[in-house]
Amino acid sequence: MTFCRSVRGRHGTNRPVTRRLAIGGQPRFFSSEEFQTVTAIASRIVPQPAARAPIPVASLVDDRLAGGASDGYRLAGMPRDGDAWRLGLKALDAEAKAAYDQPFHALAEGLQDTLLGRMQSGELKSPAWGSMAPQDFFKKRMARDVVLAYYAHPVAWSEIGWGGPASPRGYVRLDFDERDPWEAAEAGDGDEASIRRINRDVR
């Protein structure tokens, strides 16, 4: 496993990254049954390779909610983050039991995908959803939180080649395909020598 230079270095990110790597174990926000459902949802939205230990996506979502973190805004008709999750998980299990007589986490993967697809398209109609639209929960809360949790983990940073948080100096070149002077340039076919010269000055 290879972590980015800024994580290993002395840029002030060691403590939060170390904490993030330690997240796991028993849930603090979700009940045990809710946590099983979140784990099943995460495995369908961000499937992970079997060749490495999985990123604990459900635990990362649980930690965020237990800590009271939020976006600072929400859609009209969407409950607060934690309430939206509890309502959405309850409704998803109600849909699973009505259609297949089992809770969501106990369903075969194909049936889980079917229910998630119907949620995304707004086809689920159980009264358990209350005033929250299933498609809004899918797009604005559930899938968003799961994907953000996955890519907030240093293992995912390494897999996509991201150098990690630039703390405390920050980033200055924020447009597409631009790099800061301290970031290494990526070599393409045939330009290895010129890129090597550029990267000699990267600190």
For residue 87, which of 46, 130, 116 has the smallest C-alpha distance? 130
Instruction: Kindly report, residue by residue over 100-153, the tens digit of the pLDDT.
Output: 999 999 999 999 999 999 999 999 999 999 999 999 999 999 999 999 999 999
Give the CA distances from residue 177 to residues 145, 180, 186, in Å, rounded to whole numbers and listed in that order: 26, 10, 11
pTM of the model: 0.78
Instruction: Kindly report, residue by residue over 36-73, the tens digit of the pLDDT.
Output: 999 999 999 999 999 999 999 999 999 999 999 888 88
pLDDT at 72: 83
> How far apart are the C-alpha atoms of 16 and 38, rounded to whole Å?
24
Q: 3-state class of 38 per DSSP?
A: helix
